[in-house]
Chains A and B, each alone.
Chain A
Amino acid sequence: MLKIENLHASVDGTDILKGLNLTVAPGAVHAIMGPNGSGKSTLGHVLAGRPGYNVTAGSVQFLGQNLLELETEERARLGLFLAFQYPVEIPGVSNMEFLKAAVDAQREQRGEKPIDAVTFMKSARETCKAVDLDPAFLKRGVNEGFSGGEKKRNELLQMLLLQPRLCILDETDSGLDIDALQVVARGVNSMRSPERAFVMVTHYQRLLDFIEPDYVHVLAGGRIVRSGDKSLALELEARGYAWLEDEVA
């Protein structure tokens, strides 16, 4: 589904990713761990096509297409979804309008007509319940004044409504209390399917107690330096990252 080869990327002239390789097959759940500043978040932003994140070498194939040639919205319509670590607040644009525009964009991609407003509002309200978000948030500005946990749940709400093929979760667990974490985990687990893959970028092993990964990778110095199964995460939890960084150096 996703094949990243020798990916190099820079931000503001600083090289962050330095030859990253990663292959993700449908149905798999990958966790990417690593110390601060290793390039974890950069990876997500590069894949989503954020302005200012420049790919200097390498290739990314997504569902048979050259991802790097596509506009951000084309990547999304193809089924790539990035759950932001810091979701953006957009005052004045109602969450409901935003969500419907996103869903309609997917439908347009499939050659379908926009969903009618009443049907959509009903389904949005129901999905709110699944992520434990008060439907009143649908009428608010996008993420406006939401707490950290509410923002993350709003990202999850979007993911549930859009049903993407590849979900990249950028530190979705950061700033969440244990209850909120369980809500997020329940949402993600409910979406696991043989057609869908997940890449979870996280700092801590904790999230992996709730969403069990098939693979765990360690990103350090802009490259994946170690891959393994979930036992690697436990080892990292016990030993930290320093020994790996030493090994790489």
Chain B
Amino acid sequence: MTDFMRQPLDSAAAGAPPWLQDYLRAGRRRWEACSLPTRKTEQWKYTGLQALQASYAPASDGAIELADAGIQLPRYGGFRVVFVNGHFSAEHSDSRLPEGVTLVRFAEADETQSGRIREYLGSAVGREEPLFTALNDAALEDGVFLDIAPRTVVEQPLHVVWVSGNQADAFSINQRLLLLCGESSKVSLIEHFAGARSEQQSFTNGVTELLLEAGATLCHYRLHLEEAAALHIGRVHARLGENATLNGFHLGLGSVLKRLDVVVDHCGQGAHCELNGVYLPRGDEHVDYHTCIEHRVPHCTSSEVFRGIIGDRATAVFNGRIHIHRDAQKTRAELSNRNLLTSTQAEVNTKPELEIYADDVQCAHGATVAQLDETSLHYLRTRGVARADAQVMLSFGFINEVIDTVRYEPLREFLRDLLSRRFARDSALVGDVA
């Protein structure tokens, strides 16, 4: 057994209310029965876990000076809630939340709230990949329940910032978010992961559950902007009720190891999901997105676009599964994954995976791996743009189209600015090109 599998789990349970202690203990029992997957495990074929073979100390309580750690909290509007090393930071969070929105930490939930948490927690996360979810269940430091009352409409997004700070040793964070969107509510949630200095070793195991009741609409943005030495294995599981709509956007900058599983489960008729994402590993980084769209019931639609630019010696994995169950007639599902390799040593493994058991459905999928388009490159050069600059321009253009799908404008501008700097572009010029 590796050091990773022997990591201490006691600290988290101390002081928690009895129901939560029970939950943690149950998670712990499942965790102890697990073993680490190997390359022979299909789901982990292209993502090795060697980087995890270290021991991690529990994260400190998060009482660190963010400025000292070189962390600037993003400010692009909305209601901000900040967690440092998995612990809620009242100091950096907005004290007031919009009407109809309740945020409560698991450990502090009153009886009614804890009743709701117990009813919903774990209900979206399946058990097919139990290892890291079990660890999360066993060790979650400071779980959060966001409860959106029925018919609540909030224009400004809820902005949850997960910061991993500095600490002497490598440390781990088990972070958990449970969002319940009540009937016909309409909100946006931004999950923004930021890290401290680049050489800080940390491992974050983040699990987010999104439950959309009938007619609810959620824009969910999950931004992985941690530094290169920050490991992240995370899951987002969404369950969509009748006529619910999920607009998901994912951004993954690379790191030593970054693996995200995104599962969207259409459980109510007329549900719709749009899922877009961009991943940009470079150097020796690795990014792995496994997405799975479940269509269980008739008349649902899903549309998914992921694009990646893989540079230097970096590696990426994209596995896009669409599972249309026998009863899910009249489903329309689309999946597109395009990859751009900007170096001869870069690598991507992309696999669309379709499982269709209904006979009256429309399903389209495509995956490409390519280099830059020579005709476009030539056209730019005929205007005097040097080859290297033209390559950067086209690379940025390749993902700029996906950034255009971000609905919340201040965030779109923030991302465009961030990524245009990464691609050495002037953000004032790249603009909205939709």
Q: Please give me the residue from chain B that is nearest to A109 by CB atom.
A: B384
Which residues of A are found within 8 Å of B432, using beta-carbon distances? 139
Known A-B contacts A73-B384, A92-B400; A117 and B428 likewise in contact (beta carbons under 8 Å):
yes
- A51 on interface, CB distance cutoff 8 Å: yes
Known A-B contacts A117-B426, A140-B433; A90 and B384 likewise in contact (beta carbons under 8 Å):
no
- B429 on interface, CB distance cutoff 8 Å: yes
- A76 on interface, CB distance cutoff 8 Å: yes
Cβ contact within 8 Å between A92 and B398 = yes
- A96 on interface, CB distance cutoff 8 Å: yes
The answer for the CA separation of A88 and B382 in the assembled complex, in Å, is 11
Which residues of A are found within 8 Å of B379, using beta-carbon distances? 84, 87-88, 90, 142
- B385 on interface, CB distance cutoff 8 Å: yes
Q: Which of B280-288, B311-319, B388-396 binds A?
A: B388-396
The answer for the CA separation of A121 and B430 in the assembled complex, in Å, is 12
Known A-B contacts A73-B387, A98-B393; A92 and B433 likewise in contact (beta carbons under 8 Å):
yes
The answer for the CA separation of A21 and B433 in the assembled complex, in Å, is 43
Which residues of B are found within 8 Å of A81, using beta-carbon distances? 382-383
From 103 to 152 in chain A, residues with beta carbon under 8 angstroms from any chain B beta carbon are 105-106, 109, 117, 121, 139-142, 144
The answer for the CA separation of A101 and B389 in the assembled complex, in Å, is 9
Known A-B contacts A96-B429, A97-B425, A139-B433; A162 and B397 likewise in contact (beta carbons under 8 Å):
no
Cβ contact within 8 Å between A71 and B382 = no
Known A-B contacts A139-B432, A139-B433, A141-B433; A93 and B397 likewise in contact (beta carbons under 8 Å):
yes
Cβ contact within 8 Å between A82 and B397 = no
Known A-B contacts A73-B381, A91-B401; A51 and B374 likewise in contact (beta carbons under 8 Å):
yes
Known A-B contacts A92-B433, A97-B426, A101-B393; A162 and B378 likewise in contact (beta carbons under 8 Å):
no
Interface digits, A178-190 against B, CB 8 Å rule (1 contact, 0 not)? 0000000000000
Cβ contact within 8 Å between A90 and B429 = no
The answer for the CA separation of A203 and B394 in the assembled complex, in Å, is 33
Which residues of A are found within 8 Å of B401, using beta-carbon distances? 91-92, 141
Which residues of A are found within 8 Å of B399, using beta-carbon distances? 92
Cβ contact within 8 Å between B382 and A76 = yes
CB distance from B25 to the nearest CB of A (A): 51
The answer for the CA separation of A71 and B374 in the assembled complex, in Å, is 15
Which residues of A are found within 8 Å of B394, using beta-carbon distances? 90, 92-93
From 196 to 212 in chain A, residues with beta carbon under 8 angstroms from any chain B beta carbon are none
Known A-B contacts A51-B374, A73-B386, A73-B387; A96 and B431 likewise in contact (beta carbons under 8 Å):
yes
Which residues of B are found within 8 Å of A97, using beta-carbon distances? 393, 425-426, 429-431
Known A-B contacts A91-B401, A92-B396, A92-B400; A158 and B383 likewise in contact (beta carbons under 8 Å):
yes
- B380 on interface, CB distance cutoff 8 Å: yes
The answer for the CA separation of A79 and B425 in the assembled complex, in Å, is 25
How many residues on chain A are close to B (CB under 8 Å)? Answer: 38
The answer for the CA separation of A136 and B434 in the assembled complex, in Å, is 11
- A100 on interface, CB distance cutoff 8 Å: yes
Cβ contact within 8 Å between B385 and A94 = no
- A72 on interface, CB distance cutoff 8 Å: yes
> Which one of A51, A93, A105, A117 lies within 8 Å of B386 (CB-CB)?
A105
Q: Please give me the residue from chain A that is nearest to B387 by CB atom.
A: A73
- B102 on interface, CB distance cutoff 8 Å: no
From 67 to 90 in chain A, residues with beta carbon under 8 angstroms from any chain B beta carbon are 71-73, 75-77, 81-82, 84, 87-88, 90
- B376 on interface, CB distance cutoff 8 Å: yes
Cβ contact within 8 Å between B433 and A73 = no
> Which one of A76, A96, A106, A158 lies within 8 Å of B381 (CB-CB)?
A76
- A50 on interface, CB distance cutoff 8 Å: yes
- B375 on interface, CB distance cutoff 8 Å: yes
CB distance from A77 to the nearest CB of B (A): 5
Which residues of B are found within 8 Å of A91, using beta-carbon distances? 397, 401, 433
Which residues of B are found within 8 Å of A75, using beta-carbon distances? 382
Cβ contact within 8 Å between B378 and A51 = yes
Q: Please, could you name 27 A-B residue pairs with CB atoms under 8 Å apart, sorted by A?
A: A48-B382, A71-B381, A72-B382, A73-B382, A73-B387, A76-B382, A76-B384, A77-B384, A84-B382, A87-B379, A91-B397, A92-B398, A94-B430, A97-B429, A97-B430, A98-B393, A100-B426, A101-B380, A101-B393, A102-B385, A106-B384, A121-B429, A140-B433, A140-B434, A142-B379, A144-B433, A162-B384
Given A91-B397, A100-B426, 12 more A-B residue pairs with CB atoms under 8 Å apart are A48-B382, A50-B378, A73-B386, A87-B379, A88-B379, A91-B401, A92-B396, A93-B396, A97-B431, A98-B385, A102-B383, A139-B431
Closest 6 CB pairs of A and B: A92-B397, A105-B384, A93-B397, A102-B383, A76-B384, A97-B429
